[in-house]
Structure 1
Amino acid sequence: MRFLGIRVPALLTAAVLACGLATAPPAGAAPASCAVADAMVSAGNHWLAHGTNLAAPDWQNATFHVGNLATVRTTGVSNHQTLPWAKANGYRLRQDPKRPFFPDFEAAGEAYLDLYTYFHPDPPILADLRSRISAEVTSVAQGHDDYWNYVDALNMAMPSFARIGLLDHDESILDTMQKLFHHAEKEAGGHGLFDERAGLWYRDARYVGTGTFWSRGNGWALAALTKVLQVLPVTDPRRPEYLRVFTKMADSLRFTQRGDGFWNSDLLRPWHHGGPESSGTALFTYGLAWGVRAGILDAARFRPVVDRAWKALSTKALRPDGLLGYVQPVGAAPGPAKPGDTAAYGVGAFLLAGQQVATLTPGCGPVPAISRD
């Protein structure tokens, strides 16, 4: 059975309309005794209390806030930080006239979409995102289809294209998304960033053919496909290719997982920067757990992968005080990660992983109702 979206419980909607974010557990949310939920709340609150550069609408904070809202939807507990962050930024995306459609600048759109969809349905929240996507559709129609020329771009922009396209019933947006994805998959760097033999993505053209497959870069790709597959109808003609790449990646990741549950930052060369890395691991956990839940991935083969990964994240990467460590610092290639290394995107990825793991965990409450509309 494929799950296409999550219906927001009525109790959560009422709380949202009353105060902007939920304050009481919604129907179907994980109960207070759920260890997965406790880990999510601990990690999110620690970052908000001790994190750095919390104000900007950049991709790092966007990833955190998408995870932060996933925590609210899972636990029913809000720290009341995402709505003020979005308001302070005027629900706007970052801008650069020299790079008008740089995907990193579009990442905040996903957080705004989650606010609008699940918590605070005011049209102004999506105004700037809609404007940016509309302008990009025009640009791509003029032949500029190479904006997604690095693998991170898939997560930064693709989910917003899918959701706005479906929300507005606009096929031109979905067609543009497919053109941009096709360029990334098949054309960027001369041969495309997706290596069919490895079932993995190169980060960008510099690495095509080198055998260097970055954990977090592939995590961005798997997360993007997960988010898009959650919303695209089963009849959508673009869906089969996204599903094919998702399942091929999943098979590769099953065989490259480390014995301790993490993935190495350099997926096929474990001796290179050997050691735990939590941001890629968390993104993989998010995607694979959803695949199991959705019936896309065989539970007998992939549930143990998810369980090992979550145990590693929640018992080794997550400290008792809530700091999520072993997050490789910002970069464009595999690199080392230390126990105390943390970042907004790593915490956000952990929260997304927790959201999906909670739905598979006994004692963490029933799976929320599934909607096809």
Structure 2
Amino acid sequence: MGTLRGRLLPPVLAIAFSALLCTVTLMVSGANPASGIAAMVTQVGEGSVAVDIVNSAAVYYLAALAVAIGFQMNLFNIGVEGQFRVAAVTAAIVGAAIDLPAGLHAVVVILTAAVTGALYAAIPALLKITRNVHEVISSIMLNAIAAGVIALLIREDMFGELRGSNIGTHTIPESGWVGGIGFGDRGTLFGLVFLVLVIGVGYWVMMNRTRFGFELRASGESPTAAAAGGVNARRMILVAMLMSGAVAGLVAMPELLGRDHTYLITSPAGYGFTGIAIALLGRNHPGGIALGALLWAFLDKSSLALDNVGVPKEIVTIMQGSIVLSVVIAYEVVRRVELRAERRRVGRQLGANGGGTGNGGATPAAATAGGAS
């Protein structure tokens, strides 16, 4: 029961607190919270909003999964942002330059993105295991470097082309596109949503049904105990970061192959940082991450309706920020409550064992010593 409480209570508390904070904020500003919430819920049924939520959730899910793999190893891969962006522009350049049959073309683009993301994540991993450089410091710097690399690669004299006032890579031929499921006026579901589902299932199987997953979690929880059991800590750090980077490299693929077919200097960014929040909210569990991704996408897409009822859509940013802040606090509060409860249970158990020896509360050793005298 404690374990279930520890998994479910913190996210619930975080969402409830953020909802309360936003309600108070709306009331102070003179807006009606009930009408704002009703507008957001109603907006889901309008136009392509529902499909857009699922599409965005798939992208958020990949970003959060990349972060979660690092968290399992007690690594904070804050460089998912740079890894996915470098992988996206590299995959777009390769996809536009090659000519392959349909299907195979898309597979090559996807593999290119995964490999590029893994290689970019290998830099902070190698710095950590060889020079003990903290991955947060190195990956933050690599995020900044990524912006410069992208700007360089999509220059007109490199691999880019100018389109009006925007610049990006050349367009990927249609043979490299991944078709989706059309719902008419309701929008088109990205075809790679199903690949995201497969990756989520694969992550669960790896963490719960394989020796590697056990060693990964053991290394994250207690590196000393894992090393005593024969686990190579340095190898686990490298492998975990490579896997995290590979998943991060796929973050932009649903949009790149399913909608945009080119990577622009103005292409969406920030997915890596959003993934951190969703991974925390989902407690690194694939199911929890999926719910967190859907919640985040719902807040993003349905917030457009708030302006229609006189509620500033920036309230959603407050809610998302408070979720990130409160989920960390909630996990710590619940952890301490469970720790105290566990101590009380142990204390009661020891007291029961001590009082039931049949020797007036004396320990067996004391009883034996008394009999010998």
Class of the TM-score when normalised by the shorter of the 2 chains: under 0.3
Instruction: Between the two structures, name the one with larger relative contact order (CA 8 Å, sep ≥ 6).
Output: 2
Larger helix proportion of the pair? 2
TM-score computed with the length of structure 2 as normaliser = 0.25
